[in-house]
Amino acid sequence: MVFEDLSKKKPKILVIGDLMIDHYLWGEMTRISPEAPVPVVNVKNETITLGGAGNVIKNLKSLDADCAILSVIGTDDNSKIILNEISKLGLDTENVIIDETRTGSKKSRVVVSNQQVLRIDREVTSPISELVSDRLIDQFAKIIECYEIVLVSDYGKGVISESVSNKVISLSNSLNKRVLVDPKGADFRKYEGAYLITPNKKEAYEATNLEILDHESLEDSLKSLKQKYNLDVALITLSEDGIAVYENSLEIFSTKAREIYDVTGAGDTVIASLGYCLASGLKINEAVEFANLAAGVVISKVGSSIATFEEISLFHDSIEPRTKVLIEDQFIKKIAKIKS
C-alpha cells in the first residue's frame, strides 16, 4: 500500500452521530479501602477528549480529511465542553444542534497501570424529539451535497433514531453518496440500504440469529446481513481475528495487532479509515486492509486513540517482510520517517 499517495488525498466526509466526552482518571492503586473491600486509586492525572462520533472525527482529522460533524447536544456543562473540544479541532460547530431538553454524555474511566478498573457513565439515551429530528434532517439536506461520503456513528444515545437513520440513508442514496454505519443494538432495520455496516460478532449474531462458529457460518452470517439489510458490502469485525468482508465472496483480513492494551475507540478508527479510503477511491479490500492496520495502531495504545499516516506506515513496515537492501532515496526516506 502506498501511504504517501493516500496521505495526499483530502476527502470530504460528513459524520453524523452521538457526541460525548471521554474522561480519564489516571492513577495508582496501592491499598484497599478500610471502609469497604474496594481498591483505593490515587489520581495523578485527569484528561478529557471527544468520544463517540467525536472520536470518529478525531481519527479523520489525524488523516487530514476535510470533515464535519452533525449532531445534537444540550446546554449543560458537558455539552459546552463538547463544543469547545470540537472548536479545538478547527471544526465549525454550526451543524451541532442545541436541544435544551438534553444533556451531554460523559464516560469517566479510571485507569491504573494501563488498565481500566472502572467506568462511570452520565448520559441521556432517549431518542431526540420529532421536532429536533426534523431540524437535523433539514440541516443534513442542506450540506450533504458538499461531501463525498457519510459516516453514521450510532452509540445508542438517541441522535440516530430510526427516522433519522432512514432519512439519512434514503437521501444519501438518491444523491449517490455512500453511507457507512457503525451500528448499535440488535435491530439493524434502521440501517437498511446503507453501503455497509460494521457490527462485531455479537451484534451480527443478534441481527441475523446465526452463530459464528467457523468459516462456513461466518459466510452465512455475512450473506444474511447483505441480503436482509440490502447492503452493498457485508462486514463483521472479529476482534483478535481481524475483519471479515463479503462483497461477492468471503475475504478475511487477519488482525495486525502485536500487543493489545485497550480496544476503546477501535471501532471508530475502523469506520473512519474505511470512509477515508473509500472516499479517496480505494476498493473495499484495500480500505479494509488499511483500516485493519489503523486499528492495530490504536489498540496498542491506552485510552481512546487515533492513528496517523506515519504511525500506520511504520506499523505496516514493522510487521511486513521487507528487503534489507534499499536504493539511496528509499533509504533516506526511511531514515527520515524513523527519526520523525
Q: What is the pLDDT of residue 298?
A: 76
Mean pLDDT, residues 314-333 taken together: 70
Are 312 and 300 in contact, with CB atoms under 8 Å apart?
Answer: no
- pTM of the complete model: 0.87
Return the higher-pLDDT residue of 67 and 267: 67
30 contacts: CB under 8 Å, gap ≥ 6: 40, 42
Mean pLDDT, residues 32-45 taken together: 94
Residue 252 has pLDDT above 80, yes or no: yes
Q: Is 268 a catalytic residue?
A: yes
Residue 236 has pLDDT above 70, yes or no: yes
Using pLDDT thresholds of 50, 70 and 90, give the confidence band for residue 323: low
Using pLDDT thresholds of 50, 70 and 90, give the confidence band for residue 328: confident
From 76, 241, 268, 329, active-site residue: 268
Residue 264 has pLDDT above 80, yes or no: no
The alpha carbons of the chain give a radius of gyration, in whole angstroms, of 21
51 contacts: CB under 8 Å, gap ≥ 6: 19, 20, 21, 22, 105, 107, 265, 304
List the 178-182 sheet strands across, edge first. Answer: 96-98, 66-73, 12-17, 149-153, 178-182, 196-197
Least confident of 133-147, 159-173, 261-275: 261-275
Per-residue pLDDT reduced to its tens digit, 68-99: 999 999 999 999 999 999 999 999 999 999 99
Q: What is the pLDDT of residue 6?
A: 76
